[in-house]
Structure 1
Amino acid sequence: MEQLFQRGQGNFPSFPDKKLAISFADQLFAFLFTPRRDSIEQLLAIYEGLRDIFSSLVFDVLKDEVIAKQQAVVFFDAIPDIYQWLLKDAAAIVEFDPAAESIEEVLVAYPGFFATAIYRFAHQLHTQQLHTLPRLFSEYAHSRTGIDIHPGAQIGTSFFIDHGTGIVIGGTAVIGNHVKIYHGVTLGALNVAKELAHKKRHPTIEDNVIIYSGATILGGNTTVGNHSVIGGNVWLTHSVEPHSIVYHKSEVVVRDKNPLPEPLNFVI
């Protein structure tokens, strides 16, 4: 029982506040993409408040106030570039989704865009080698959208997710620019042995690839060449050349379940 009361003390690992991390992710998303009528002074105050929250989250893990503030500087210095990348992601959704009527609709109502935004925040944290916090971000997006993107994945610009429910993207996946992914897609590993933890286990998807719903692409040596189309429900464990079309062929038989009508007898 004594160990339970010593949790978080001594050499036991410390964790960021989960509720605060989720609140920070929501506030940062709202700060970047919710229309505001605040003055410059009010926006600066919100911005500084976000920096303070971030520093607190990092301090919870590192227990070093100076390093926590340095990490906050690095993260917020990256925000303008992340914001530009996300605008390109939103523009891709507007361009290719016939149901999207405006970029404003995408920013506030599309789960695929929200998951992409949280991924880009988490990926920045991952590059700063901040452990646990990026996973809290990604798991929050997963629970809210059904889209599971590991913070370690590398995803290029103009990334398009349509619907999105059931998408899984592994931590060593590499995705190029202008890639479109539909719901139920898995970019996963062929082998989940622990000794492969630091090896590339997930596929590489080159530029301008479309992956339709239900497709599963596995393996660190698997590369989908640029401008390829992967059809729905495809199971792929080997590389395909650029400009390929890969599809799953299945036979569908349709017959009338009603009995044939009795032949007509004509009496003349």
Structure 2
Amino acid sequence: MNSSSEALAMPEEAKRPGLWALWREDVSCVFRRDPAARGTFEVLTTYPGIHAILTHRIAHRLWRRGWRYPARLLSFLARMATNVDIHPGATIGRRFFIDHGAGVVIGETAEVGDDVTLYHGVTLGGTSWNRGKRHPTLCDGVLVGAGAKVLGPITLGAGVRVGANSVVVKDVAAERTVVGIPGKEVRPAREHHNDQEGIDLDHHLIPDPVGRAIACLLERIETLEGELHVLRGGHPHTQRVCRECGATESCKSPDPT
């Protein structure tokens, strides 16, 4: 068997870097995504997100080898110390970063790709009690804003951005931005503003579909009131501006204030 055939026959787990290499990548990626990080010692001793992922790397290996209770116990201890709950069965890719590391929950069958970033309060949860695949899959480069919930056996494509406090329950195509409850795609990839590391940190600069809809309704009401005023014999361009919200309304007198 030649070397290429051996590579193809090699188990996927054997192709991945060793534990120390994964840990080094987890720590080094913090400096590219958090400008507050000033040194390796500081990150290792004060970042609960780092403590959670480093511990999960061990717990996941125990889980894969059938040591289920020790894996669960280790995850429980990590949760007590970090307030981050990652099930040892969850599959986490390389250079994973949890910013602030508080209130994050990742379910058993969740799959997370490489270079994924989660902010505090994120949940990768399930929507059923079935024992099969019930948690989401996040492809490479996904960023999930604070407080967002990604629920069910759905897939978020590579480069997806999820706005803060959104609830995503359907598949999302690659390089899209999702916002709202339920989550809706609102911005294509060409409008992302990536930094030198290819990470879009402007996940808060997203359109407001609710505000846009309200603006359209106000404009429509203004038009209808103007037409109604004309039908009543008034001047077609006579309008009054609401002092409370700034919206305009048709005036009932020829000399508005």
**Normalization by structure 1: what TM-score?**
0.61
Picking from 11, 25, 39, the partner of 1:102 is 39
Matched, 1:160 2:97: yes
Residues 206-251 of structure 1 deviation map (CA, whole Å, 9 limit, x = unaligned): 001100101000111x100001111100101100000001122465
Tell me the CA shift for residue 103 of structure 1. 2.0
The Cα offsets for residues 41-74 of structure 1, whole Å up to 9 and x where unpaired, read as xxxxxxxxxxxxxxxxxxxxxxxxxxxxxxxxxx
Number of residue pairs aligned between Structure 1 and Structure 2: 170
Q: Secondary structure at the match of 1:85?
A: helix
Matching residue of 1:238: 170
Q: CA deviation at 1:81?
A: 1.2
Query: Runs of 4 or more off by more than 3 Å in structure 1?
Result: none
Corresponding letter in the other structure for 1:143:
M
| Alignment partner of 1:116 out of 20, 39, 53 | 53
Match status 1:227 vs 2:164: no
For the residues of structure 1 that align with 2:77 and 2:44, how far apart are their CA atoms? 18
Tell me the distance in 1 between the aligned counterparts of 2:31 and 2:77: 25
Gaps of 5+ in 2: 1-16, 181-207, 212-242, 245-257
> Residues of 1 paired with 2:161 and 2:168: CA distance?
12
User: What's the counterpart of residue 140 of structure 2?
Assistant: 207
Instruction: Trace 1:28-177 onto structure 2 (pairs within 5 A).
Output: 81-177=18-114
In 2: Cα distance, 1:86 partner to 1:175 partner: 16
Amino acid aligned to 1:210: L
Q: TM-score normalized by structure 2?
A: 0.64
* Greater relative CO (CA pairs within 8 A, separation 6+): 1
Counterparts of 1:234 and 1:109, CA distance in 2: 28
Determine the C-alpha separation between the residues in 2 that align with 1:168 and 1:188: 7
Residue 156 of structure 1 aligns with an amino acid whose one-letter code is: G
Q: Normalized per residue, which structure has more strand?
A: 2
Instruction: Measure how far apart 1:90 and its partner are.
Output: 0.7
Q: Which residue of 2 aligns with 1:23?
A: none
**Displacement after TM superposition at 1:131 (Å):** 1.9
What is the percent sequence identity of the aligned residues?
Answer: 41
In the alignment, the residues of structure 2 paired with residue 145 and residue 104 of structure 1 have an alpha-carbon distance, to the nearest angstrom, of: 17
Distance 1:241 1:125 in 2: 33
**In the TM superposition, what is the alpha-carbon distance from 1:104 to its structure 2 partner?**
2.1
Q: Distance in 2 between matches of 1:160 and 1:217?
A: 17
Larger Rg computed on CA atoms = 2
The alpha-carbon deviation at position 111 of structure 1 amounts to 0.6
Shift of 1:182: 0.4
Shift of 1:93: 0.8
- CA drift of 1:156 comes to 0.5
SS at match of 1:132: helix
**Which residue number in structure 1 is paired with residue 198 of structure 2?**
none
Letter in 2 for 1:102: G
Offset of residue 105 of structure 1: 1.3
In structure 1, what is the Cα distance between the partners aligned to 2:87 and 2:19?
A: 17
